[in-house]
Structure 1
Amino acid sequence: MPATTLPQVPRWVPAPVTQEDIEWAELAVIDLSKTRTPEGRAEQAIIARDAMHNQGFFYVINHGLKKSQVDRLFDIGAVPFDQVDKDEKLRYEANIKATGEYLGYKLPQYWHISNGVKDRIEHYNLPRDVSRQEHPTALRPFLPEIQKFIEYTHSEIMYEVERLLAIGLELPENTFTDMHPWDETNHSFFRFMLYNPRTDDEETKTEGVWMKGHADHMTLTALWSQPVTALQIKDDEGNWRCIKHIDNALVINCGDTTEYLSGGYYKSAIHRVIKPPADQSGYRRLGMIYFQYMADQLLLKPLMESLVLQREGITKALDGDITQEAWRKGRVSRYGVTNLQKSTEDGVEYEIINGVKVKHYN
């Protein structure tokens, strides 16, 4: 059988890895190749459990995709930004406030950062099933590849991570995977995201913050590691630590939904994006992210059948019955476009969504 000829795409040339002295976050590494034996599976489940309990972040390696396959998707990821003109982008712009969904383009200058400065972040968002929407002409030849990549991430990588997290809570290992079906009730989505360099004046006014500190609102976020050092996690002592690049690794972080399902045992990690180090100044930062939701109708309630929760107790729960759909749409429609209130906590602002106090960190 002859090999399939893939459509040509220009190479995306990433920034060189920084050589500066950086205070890196110490994140656990989950090796999916070790989950093929009962002993290895038990070991990796403990590592995943402790990482989500203590930090809300970990790396995933040996996930089954070659570096060349991931690099190819980064090449494709530049297409919606570099090969689509502004008029066509406007035709595919997401109506975020009205729909509570990001699908399509979020163009720069949409979110307010601080002191009158708006973001220089552009992203193009695709639904879990890419056929659910029409896409820019230049991206259409690559949709089959993108679809396969999304399906593999959802079903082969994220499902395996969710099994480990279920084992960590002493639940049946299919608990979380059953809550994330591959059907019309699931609104997980895939994002190509581009951070463009900013002016010196904008950097001064925002103190170098490109995206405010926040917790993701979904169950899990999977970010494909890329070399521009800008992502930071806030540790228990209130210090911001940078996430180090690992070739062909994923960075997984816990979102609010998982925190509520686990009664606060798994912690939704506070993270932000800042100005890169000097030796990466001027480079664009291209990212690929998969945001995973559970089924829309499910409630954000602690899984009390967990023996861990029964022993440890509940430290975080929502008042009332809030569905994944209500939480998803409420958070998406209001992010970055509402007037935040000052908190008594230093450097913290907040807003109320579905009766919940949602914090943002400057």
Structure 2
Amino acid sequence: MSTILDMQDKMAIVNPKPPLPEYEYPPETQQQLKYADLVTIDLSVFETPGGPKKLAAQLKEAVHRDGFFYVTNFGLTQCKIDEQFSIAKAFFTLPEEERMNYLAPLEDGSYNGYRPLGSVNIAPGLKDSLEFYSIFKCIPETERSQPQVIRDYWAEIENFSRHMHEKVSYKLLRILEIMFELPENQFVDAHRYEDVCDSSIRYMLYHARSKEENEAYRNVHFAAHTDNGSLTYMFKQPVSALQVQRTPDSEWEYLYVPSGTLAVNVANAFNFLTNGFAKSGFHRVIAPPEDQEHLDRLALLYFLRPTEKLQLTTLDSPFLQKEGYGKTTTENDLNISWHDNWRDNVRSRGMRNYNK
């Protein structure tokens, strides 16, 4: 029996894919903003003798204190990144009625597909300004119908997905294993590409609001939160709207991601697993500065989430014991995988918050 991807390949041979619309990054703000000064690691060092241990030492304070860090030399050219922005732009220019044909099955606890604009009420009578399209890992278990532009560029999407997962994530997971003095591949084996999980590419579009609308929304586009998963990757986005708060007492700072750099957000799985040593990066999206207020904000992200092999069980290790985060109780451990817990959360959140 032919799979969806087999049929897509046959269609591509008969109908060559059209060129993508060119994506141009919007101009950067001219206003003086306070940007977060984060630790930067060079991932090419991983391949050098002793490199993983050096990177683990570099990341210790960033993982514990900030919940965010930067990565350079992660193996993707800016051209490949720009191509993903072009695919995203092509998707969001589709007619709304066509985008609605690819709704994510939120009732099943899955974001695999389209989440429409205005799906969530931020406050009574005030809907969010965000729509997004998630493309799960390119494995048979997550196959679903896709719009033509996604089918046309499936090979490029899969290459991008696999690179972020297998060439970037596996290295960072190995660095974290070394940091926490855990057995080799303990984290990697819980995030294998071929295993079922909700890791995904996400194309996100924040729509511009008028000054009056921003005042009504108190300048908030997405309220302060931490991410549910393992790691979140964010690519260059010149519209200044993403802010981070590194400690409860510190001020909000803008996150700036230059070309050739990847911003990484430590998410809730590692905060839980390490008994709180790894900080979940606290962040929000606000209205852009006045000279960018009229601009839509298109963002490209990759979410790394655990497979069914990772249980909701806190870790213990010599490192965590030395740092004062050693395991002292099992009362918080649950007999459920992180993947199943995540699906349950999405399902209940969808039933509670999403507009029909």
**TM-score (norm. length: structure 2):** 0.87
Give runs of ≥4 in structure 1 deviating > 4 Å.
334-337
Q: Alignment partner for residue 214 of structure 1, among 218, 225, 237? A: 225
For residue 318 of structure 1, report the CA deviation from its aligned partner. Answer: 3.3
TM-superposition CA deviations, 1:231-279 (whole Å, max 9, x none) = 1111211421110121121111111111111111111111110111112
Q: What is the one-letter code of the residue matched to 1:85?
A: P
Q: Alignment partner for residue 28 of structure 1, among 29, 34, 39? A: 39
Q: What is the one-letter code of the residue matched to 1:110?
A: S
CA distance, structure 1, for counterparts of residue 138 and residue 292 of structure 2 = 35
Higher alpha-carbon deviation: 55-64 or 177-186:
177-186
Counterpart check, 1:324 vs 2:335 = no
What are structure 2's unaligned runs of at least 5 residues? 1-15
CA distance, structure 2, for counterparts of residue 21 and residue 182 of structure 1 = 41
CA distance, structure 2, for counterparts of residue 331 and residue 242 of structure 1 = 29
For residue 325 of structure 1, report the CA deviation from its aligned partner. Answer: 2.4
Whether the aligned pair in 2 keeps the contact of 1:130 and 1:147 (CA below 8 Å) is no
For residue 288 of structure 1, report the CA deviation from its aligned partner. Answer: 1.2
Q: Which residue number in structure 2 is paired with residue 111 of structure 1? A: 120
Q: Alignment partner for residue 102 of structure 2, among 85, 92, 98? A: 92
Closer, same or farther in 2 for the Cα pair 1:336/1:275, shift >3 Å?
farther
Match of 1:175, SS state, is coil
Q: Alignment partner for residue 171 of structure 2, among 160, 163, 178? A: 160
What are structure 1's unaligned runs of at least 5 residues? 340-362
Q: Which residue number in structure 1 is paired with residue 8 of structure 2? A: none
Higher alpha-carbon deviation: 134-143 or 178-187:
178-187
Whether the aligned pair in 2 keeps the contact of 1:49 and 1:164 (CA below 8 Å) is no
Q: Which residue number in structure 1 is paired with residue 54 of structure 2? A: 43
RMSD across aligned C-alpha pairs, in angstroms?
Answer: 2.1
Q: Which residue number in structure 2 is paired with residue 229 of structure 1? A: 240
TM-superposition CA deviations, 1:105-139 (whole Å, max 9, x none) = 10111112234311111111111116611101232
Q: Which residue number in structure 2 is paired with residue 124 of structure 1? A: 133
Whether the aligned pair in 2 keeps the contact of 1:223 and 1:251 (CA below 8 Å) is yes
Q: Which residue number in structure 2 is paired with residue 198 of structure 1? A: 209
Whether the aligned pair in 1 keeps the contact of 2:190 and 2:309 (CA below 8 Å) is no
Whether the aligned pair in 2 keeps the contact of 1:55 and 1:267 (CA below 8 Å) is yes
For residue 80 of structure 1, report the CA deviation from its aligned partner. Answer: 1.1
Whether the aligned pair in 2 keeps the contact of 1:7 and 1:142 (CA below 8 Å) is no
Q: Which residue number in structure 2 is paired with residue 355 of structure 1? A: none
- State how 1:279-290 maps to structure 2 within 5 Å: 279-290=291-302
Task: Give the percent of matched residue pairs that are identical in Structure 1 and Structure 2.
Answer: 33
Q: What is the one-letter code of the residue matched to 1:122?
A: E
Match of 1:314, SS state, is coil
For residue 187 of structure 1, report the CA deviation from its aligned partner. Answer: 2.4
Q: What is the one-letter code of the residue matched to 1:93?
A: L
Whether the aligned pair in 2 keeps the contact of 1:226 and 1:247 (CA below 8 Å) is no
Whether the aligned pair in 1 keeps the contact of 2:234 and 2:301 (CA below 8 Å) is yes
CA distance, structure 2, for counterparts of residue 250 and residue 336 of structure 1 = 30
TM-superposition CA deviations, 1:27-65 (whole Å, max 9, x none) = 111110122223433221112222111111111111111
Counterpart check, 1:255 vs 2:273 = no
Q: Which residue number in structure 1 is paired with residue 6 of structure 2? A: none
For residue 201 of structure 1, report the CA deviation from its aligned partner. Answer: 3.1
For residue 330 of structure 1, report the CA deviation from its aligned partner. Answer: 2.8
CA distance, structure 2, for counterparts of residue 331 and residue 321 of structure 1 = 16
Match of 2:191, SS state, is coil
Closer, same or farther in 2 for the Cα pair 1:272/1:287, shift >3 Å?
same
For residue 7 of structure 1, report the CA deviation from its aligned partner. Answer: 4.7
Closer, same or farther in 2 for the Cα pair 1:159/1:68, shift >3 Å?
same
CA distance, structure 2, for counterparts of residue 125 and residue 164 of structure 1 = 27
Whether the aligned pair in 2 keeps the contact of 1:93 and 1:106 (CA below 8 Å) is yes
TM-superposition CA deviations, 1:70-122 (whole Å, max 9, x none) = 1111111211101x2122111111231x1111111101111122343111111
For residue 334 of structure 1, report the CA deviation from its aligned partner. Answer: 4.2
Closer, same or farther in 2 for the Cα pair 1:292/1:162, shift >3 Å?
same
Whether the aligned pair in 1 keeps the contact of 2:210 and 2:294 (CA below 8 Å) is no
Closer, same or farther in 2 for the Cα pair 1:331/1:26, shift >3 Å?
farther
Closer, same or farther in 2 for the Cα pair 1:24/1:335, shift >3 Å?
farther
Counterpart check, 1:275 vs 2:275 = no
**TM-score (norm. length: structure 1):** 0.86
CA distance, structure 1, for counterparts of residue 124 and residue 211 of structure 2 = 14
Whether the aligned pair in 2 keeps the contact of 1:232 and 1:274 (CA below 8 Å) is yes
Q: Which residue number in structure 2 is paired with residue 265 of structure 1? A: 277
CA distance, structure 1, for counterparts of residue 58 and residue 301 of structure 2 = 23
